Amino acid sequence: MHLIVTEKNIAARRIAAILAPKSPKKERVSGVDVYRYEIGSGESRKETVVVGLSGHIVGIDFPNEYNNWQKVDARSLIDAEITTTPINRKIVTALKSLGKGAERVTIATDYDREGELIGVEALNIIKQVNPKVPFDRVRYSAITPKAIENAFLNSTNVDFNLADAGHSRQVIDLVWGAALTRYISLAAGRLGKMFLSVGRVQSPTLSLIVDREKERNIFVPTPYWEIHVELEDAAGDIFSAQHSTRRFLDKEEASNIFKKLGKKAELKEIEKGTKTDQPPTPFNTTGFISAANSIGLSPSNAMRIAESLYTNGYISYPRTDNTVYPDTLDLRAQIEIFKEGPFKEYANALLEKPELVPTRGKKETTDHPPIFPASLAKEADLKEDEWKVYELVVRRFFATFAGPSTWETMRLKLDINEEEFRSNGARLLEPGWRWYYPYNAPEDRLLPELGEGDSLKVIKKEMLDKETQPPGRYGQGRLINIMEELGLGTKATRHEIISKLYSRAYIHGNPVQPTNTSFAVVDTLEKYSPTITKPDMTKLLEENMDKIAEGKIKEDAVLEESREMLKQVFSELDKNRDNIIESLQAGLREDKIIGNCSLCGNELMIRRSKRGSRFIGCSNYPNCTFSLPLPRSGHIIVTDKSCETHGLHHIRIINQGKRAWDLGCPQCNFIEWQKTQQEEQAQRPKKERPKSIKDLEGVGKATAGKLEEAGITSVKALAEADPVELAKTIKISVKKVKSWQAACNGTVEDL
């Protein structure tokens, strides 16, 4: 039996359907779907079984004795033993069951570090029960009949160096993340679900975001003034112009010029020209994520959709650094796929070209081609976001074969009372690649047909007060580009790092904004252990992992070097432990401050009751008992936006997997809630108060007798009684007594 192992069940199903001479038979082995088919007949009959994994089926961790954060020193994790344990026992059992009877094993997982490691993990499990089984590897970049058949005709060897590179990343990230997270969380007193996550890629990335926010915070705006006019030509066409001194830093100077402007303008000079926009390069992962982000998709969502399209055979493998189509890819054939369908007009236009010469990016690798459309999809077969991504990939692919777009430009110089004004216009002459790829295209800025010496009317003039703006926050797409430039993470992990920062409530919004917790963590680390927040260390480790993949260095050497680096980091931390504790706790206290109490002026802070529920309370308690409620679950983020009425910071609630809830000002929110409750209460029907105790629900003769013995002979007496003492006396629950007392007040909702 030939056993083929793929990374996911959907890939197993598709590959089996491609390779089988007729529909494969679906079976269950140890609760796992497998696909069985036969090739040939009689003695030459060969049986094949295809099984899909679910990503990693084994994981790495520390032994159980290291799990107690408060008893086990964080530093001891650096040299701790790493154990391997099954993640998905059903698949492990199925692999062993199938592996026993395998005469040959083919690893057909995705071809990259992670995929190679997943394949080797599966192979090692099979070899536990069948040590001498021969094995090979197939590599493909698209799950289409042509690509899969070609891959199985040209099988190769398993790349154990590549798998070791993937394994080294697992170990390094586990050790660095666990040790540093434990140390910092204990120092801050933040354990349980509120722990402070620290990591070798995550922390330098967070530092980038915090440092940009600091630049914004210290930015001092400079006021300036602009002068604009609207002009009308003889034909009645209107256009705008701006003074050639684009920014006046002296208001008096700008005002004097503005006052002297008359009602006539003269066109002194016309300068015409052309400019070209070169077509874009093929999509690699970073380019794709950036483009998808510009049309409203987060990096994590864009990659999730791209991976789904890949496993369904619609696009090529989306994790690639390559921006150059390989010679082995039949580009004309790929375009011919679209001769029918919604993109036929574009495909046919390209196929009319005598030669198809695509653009080339700066990065050329041999693992996977750039992202390209692998097969024709119908819009009806895909979800809205899936089609959005698919169309983006198709249009980018087409655009790489198109010509440049050409613009006609026009620059006007005008004179108004001896003051020079300018106006620029542009008109698209030849759309070129922009016809295929219309995203974020600039619009025409049309100017009327004019001649030098023409006289124009000044129909409007205005002087605008402006000020310089701080540097903008990073969008997620831009942040991923910067991470790539600095060597932070890989094409496969950068979007996951950003998602982790969101889930840990370190950042919120897009463009990305850091929370106060981020400032506390980054400020402390930058001051007392800057190695953690700089990209140099993690970039070096990434380069070393590349060398493992290339066979230039052994995994053990890289792991040992990473442990030595981490020990140096801990030396920095231990030297400054007291300062770190003080800095973190002070910073995290700031993260809890909502504003000032309207009753006493002291700080209002996020607090917890003895039962663990959260609320906003006054730091002057018990002298001041002002409080506001908070939602029971979710990360609370104190934003920099403040309520104009109450002066309190707005709050955002983040629950993992759900859309963030902007609660706003907690006092405004509470007032609105009270108002709603009162309105609902007013609409509820009133119930008449009971005339006697026996009219109450649940009060029979026996209970009425007990109440009388306790001195409760009237509705009024029951309403005024101490519910706890009465409950003890008549041996009934306090809750029941309170419900009777509520009924005595006569409202339905109190029953």
Phi first, then psi, for residue 637 (nearest 5°) are -115, 125
Residue 457 maps to a domain: yes
Give CA–CA dist 416/550, Å, rounded: 68
Pairing of strands 83-86, 649-654: unpaired
Token pair 């609105």 is at which residue? 672
- The answer to whether residues 572 and 566 touch, using CB atoms and an 8 Å cutoff, is no
Q: In this predicted model, what pLDDT tens digit does every residue of 137-177 receive, in sequence order?
A: 999 999 999 999 999 999 999 999 999 999 999 999 999 99
- How far apart (Å, rounded) are the C-alpha atoms in residues 154 and 137? 9
Tokens of 709: 């013995």
Question: What angle do the packed helices 299-311 and 494-503 form, to 10 degrees?
Answer: 130
Q: Judging by DSSP bridges, how do beta strands 513-514 and 32-39 pair with one another?
A: unpaired
Segments forming the whole domain that contains residue 454: 223-279+405-467
Q: By mean pLDDT, which of 44-53, 93-102, 720-729 is the weakest?
A: 720-729
Q: Is pLDDT at 298 greater than 80 in this prediction?
A: yes
Q: Is the pLDDT of residue 684 over 70?
A: no
- Do 327 and 410 fall into the same domain? no
Structure-token match 């959709």, residue found: 305
Number of structural domains (the chain) is: 6
Helix (H) or strand (E) holding 351: helix 344-351
Contact 469/261 with Cβ under 8 angstroms?
no
Tokens of 745: 């007040």
Share of the chain above pLDDT 70, in %: 97
Q: How far apart are CA 148 and CA 142, in angstroms?
A: 8
The burial class, CB within 10 Å (0-12 / 13-18 / 19+), for 8 is middle
Torsion of the alpha carbons at 187, 189, 191 and 194, rounded to the nearest 10:
-110
Identity of the highest mean pLDDT range in 187-191, 394-398, 471-475: 394-398
Q: Do 284 and 320 meet the contact criterion of CB atoms below 8 Å apart?
A: yes
> How much is the pTM?
0.81
Does residue 290 sit in the same domain as residue 365? yes
Helices (H), 446-603: 476-486, 494-503, 516-528, 535-549, 555-575, 577-590
Q: Is residue 489 one of the residues assigned to a domain?
A: no
Query: Roughly what angle, to the nearest 10 degrees, separates helices 535-549 and 160-188?
Result: 160
Could you say which of 566, 585, 604 is where a domain stops? 585
Q: Which of 342, 365, 399 represents a domain boundary (last residue)?
A: 399
Q: How far apart are CA 48 and CA 84, in angstroms?
A: 30
Q: Are residues 38 and 139 in the same domain?
A: yes
pLDDT for res 738: 82
Looking at the structure, tell me whether residues 152 and 11 fall in a common domain: yes
Q: Is the separation of the CB atoms in 299 and 289 below 8 Å?
A: yes
The one-letter amino acid code at 258 reads F
pLDDT digits (tens, 9 = 90+) for 540-576: 988 999 999 999 999 999 999 999 999 999 998 988 8
Where on the phi/psi map is residue 646: left (φ > 0), alpha (ψ -120 to 50), or beta? alpha
User: What three-state secondary structure class fits 684?
Assistant: coil
Q: Is residue 106 part of a domain?
A: yes
- What pLDDT score was predicted for residue 12? 95
Give the integer Cα–Cα distance in Å for 518 and 362: 35
Other residues' Cβ atoms within 10 Å of the Cβ of residue 73 = 15
Same domain flag for 104 and 21: yes
- For residue 442, being part of any structural domain is answered with yes
The reported pLDDT for the residue numbered 348 is 95
* Cβ neighbours of residue 567 closer than 8 Å, sequence gap 6 or more: 75, 78
Residue with tokens 């018990």: 622
pLDDT of residue 657: 66
Round to whole Å and give the CA distance between 148 and 4: 12
654 band by pLDDT with thresholds 50, 70 and 90 = confident
Better-predicted residue by pLDDT, 235 or 288: 288
Instruction: Band the pLDDT of 750: cuts 50, 70, 90.
Output: very low
Q: Is residue 627 part of a domain?
A: yes
* Residue with the two structure tokens 């050329």: 364
Count, residues in the chain:
751
Q: Which of 37, 310, 317, 506 is catalytic?
A: 317
Q: What's the CATH code of the domain at 292?
A: 1.10.290.10
- Residue 687: predicted pLDDT: 63
The Cα 357–Cα 71 span in angstroms is: 64
Residues 49 and 118 in one domain: yes
Max Cα distance, the chain (Å):
110
- Distances in whole angstroms, Cα of residue 129 to Cα of each of 34, 122, 271, 395: 19, 12, 80, 49
Average pLDDT, integer, range 727-745: 81
Three-state DSSP class for residue 373: strand
Which one-letter DSSP state was computed for residue 694?
A: G
* CA distances to 106, 602, 606, 663 from 598, in Å: 71, 8, 16, 20
Say yes or no: 135 and 228 in one domain: no
Tell me whether residue 249 is in a domain: yes
Q: Report the mean per-residue pLDDT for the chain.
A: 89
SS3 assignment, position 600: coil
- Per-residue burial over 123-141, b = 16 or more CB atoms within 10 Å of its CB, e = otherwise: bebbeeebeebebebbbbb
Q: Is residue 212 part of a domain?
A: yes
Residue 35 known to be catalytic: no
177: β partners: none
SS in 3 state form for 213-281? Answer: HHHHHHCCCCEEEEEEEEEECCCCCEEEEEECCCCECCHHHHHHHHHHCCCEEEEEEEEEEEEEECCCC
In the block, which residue shows the tokens 């159980």?
64
- The pLDDT of residue 694 is 82
CATH number of the domain residue 196 falls in: 1.10.460.10
Assess whether pLDDT exceeds 60 at residue 747. no
* 418 token code pair: 């001896």
State the first-to-last Cα distance of the chain, in angstroms, to the nearest integer: 71
Q: What is the pLDDT of residues 179-233, one digit of tens each?
A: 999 999 888 887 766 788 898 999 999 999 999 999 999 999 999 999 999 999 9
CATH number at 440 reads 2.70.20.10
DSSP letters along 53-87, please?
A: -BS-SEEEE--GGG--TTTS-GGGGTT---EEEES
Q: Is the peptide bond before 431 cis (omega within 30 degrees of 0)?
A: no
- Of 683, 717, 741, the one marking the end of a domain is 683
Give percent above pLDDT 90 in the chain. Answer: 59
Whether residue 539 contacts residue 486, with contact meaning beta carbons closer than 8 Å, is answered with: yes
Whether 477 maps to a domain, the answer reads no
- Shared domain for 17 and 119, answered yes or no, is yes
- As given in the structure block, the two tokens for residue 228 are 């604009």
628 with 598: CB under 8 angstroms? no
Structure tokens at 517: 């917790």
Task: Say what the pLDDT of residue 746 is.
Answer: 59
Q: Give pLDDT tens digits for 624-646.
A: 888 888 887 778 888 888 888 88
* Whether residues 511 and 616 fall in one domain: no
State the CATH number of the domain containing residue 93: 3.40.50.140
- 476-486 helix and 299-311 helix, angle to the nearest 10 degrees: 80
On whether both 24 and 138 belong to a single domain, the answer is yes
pLDDT at 718 over 90: no
Same domain, 12 and 122: yes
CATH number of the domain to which 708 belongs: 1.10.150.20
**CB 60 within 8 Å of CB 177:** no
Residues 257 and 305 in one domain: no
CB atoms within 10 A of CB 673: 11
Output the CA–CA distances (angstroms, integers) from residue 42 to 39, 45, 47, in the order listed.
10, 5, 12
Q: What is the CA radius of gyration of the chain?
A: 35
Q: Band the pLDDT of 745: cuts 50, 70, 90.
A: low
